[in-house]
Structures are given as C-alpha cells and as structure tokens.
C-alpha cells in the first residue's frame, strides 16, 4: 500500500527455526493435483468455495487451486530469501551469543505481503497438524504449541507494522 519499509528485528535463532518451517511448508506446496488435496492442512489453504454445490466447487478449484499454491510457493521463497540473508541457509555455529544476536530484515510492501500470507498459512498448517478445532485448544506441554504461539506473535507484530500502529 505504501513504499515505506518495515523493519523486522529477529534473532538468528528465530530466523533459523523459521527458515526450517518455511522450507517444510514449501515442500508441502509441491502438490500438483487439481482435485482436493489429500492432506487436510493443504486442503485448508484451498477450501471449497461452495458449501452446498460440489460441482461449482470443483470448477472453482480447477480455475484457482494451482495459482493459489504457486503464489504460496513464491511467497515462501521470498520469506526464505529474507531469512537466509541474515542467518545463512544452515545453522553453522553453536555460539550461543551469535544465535541470540538480533538481525534485521527490511521488508518493502510486496515482501511484507509475502511474510504476512506465509506466517498466516504456516499457522493454518500447524493448527491442522495439531488438531486445533477450537480457539481454546492448547497443550502447554507440547512444544509445537509454543511454535504456533510464536508464529502468532510474529504475525501480529507484522500486522501492526503494516497498519502503521
């Protein structure tokens, strides 16, 4: 919406973990079927457009699904490029201090859109894997919920930045 840059501050440790999640997400997106994906997490990203008309849903899916998933791949690649620019593609150090050092990713409005869509989609995929069907579903002992909450925290921060708050 504007050409103002949003500056994301993130530790290298976070960047490495997020890069791992986004890489897994990108792998998931290689599905090429035009039918409803078998994986419920992927199916959630391309839901039926008609709740009571299977034929209309099928036609809509044929027209949109490939583009939607391709676009998500492009989004994921943009996020990964930003993360790799600060963390490198792999975790090459066990130097604790280096991992907790804060790095900066500058996002123009296009890149910000990619980040917002990808973080939102990662949460949808993770929620599907975790079986979250209600807002109250949470298991404090399962570290995956910690990752889910952290993605929400990061997404909310970027939304605030996007809204100029």
Partner 1 sequence: MLAATLPKPDEHVEVEAIPHNSRVWQTVVWNDPVNLMSYVVHVFREYFGFPRDKAERLMLEVHHEGRTVVAQGAREQMELHARAMHDYGLWATVREAPQ
By CB under 8 A, residue 18 contacts partner 1? no
Q: Are 118 and 89 in contact (CB under 8 A)?
A: no
Task: Specify the residue for token string 């699904």.
Answer: 65
Write down the least CB distance from residue 145 to partner 1, Å. 12
**89 vs 131, beta carbon nearer partner 1:** 131
The interface with partner 1 within residues 38-67 (CB under 8 A) comprises: 44-52, 56, 60, 64
Write down the least CB distance from residue 43 to partner 1, Å. 11
By CB under 8 A, residue 76 contacts partner 1? no
d(CA 5, CA 109): 7
Write down the least CB distance from residue 60 to partner 1, Å. 6
By CB under 8 A, residue 12 contacts partner 1? no
d(CA 113, CA 108): 9
d(CA 64, CA 135): 29
Q: Are 129 and 141 in contact (CB under 8 A)?
A: no
d(CA 128, CA 144): 12
Write down the least CB distance from residue 121 to partner 1, Å. 5
Q: Measuring CA to CA, which residue among 157, 7, 3 is closest to residue 82?
A: 7
Which of 4, 129, 144, 160 binds partner 1 (CB under 8 A)? It is 160
CB atoms within 10 A of CB 100: 11
**Angle at the Cα of 23 (from 109 to 105), degrees rounded to 5?**
35
Contacts with partner 1, 91-120, as mask; x by CB under 8 A? -------------------------xx--x
Q: Which residues bind partner 1 (CB under 8 A)?
A: 1, 44-52, 56, 60, 64, 68, 71, 116-117, 120-121, 123-124, 127, 132-135, 137, 152, 155-156, 159-160, 162-163
């Amino acid at each position: 919406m504007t050409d103002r840059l949003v500056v994301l501050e993130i530790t290298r440790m976070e960047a490495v973990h997020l890069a791992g999640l986004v890489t897994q997400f990108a792998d998931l997106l290689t599905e090429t079927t035009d039918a409803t994906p078998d994986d419920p997490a992927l199916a959630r990203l391309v839901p039926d457009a008609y709740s009571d008309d299977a034929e209309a849903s099928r036609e809509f899916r044929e027209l949109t699904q490939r583009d939607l998933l391709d676009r998500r791949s492009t989004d994921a690649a943009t996020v990964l490029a930003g993360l790799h620019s600060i963390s490198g593609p792999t975790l090459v150090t066990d130097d604790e201090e280096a991992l907790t050092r804060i790095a900066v990713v500058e996002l123009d409005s296009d890149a910000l859109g990619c980040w917002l869509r990808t973080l939102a989609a990662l949460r949808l995929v993770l929620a599907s894997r975790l079986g979250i069907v209600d807002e109250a579903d949470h298991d404090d002992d399962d570290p995956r919920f910690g990752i889910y909450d952290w993605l929400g925290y990061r997404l909310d921060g970027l939304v605030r930045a996007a809204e100029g708050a």
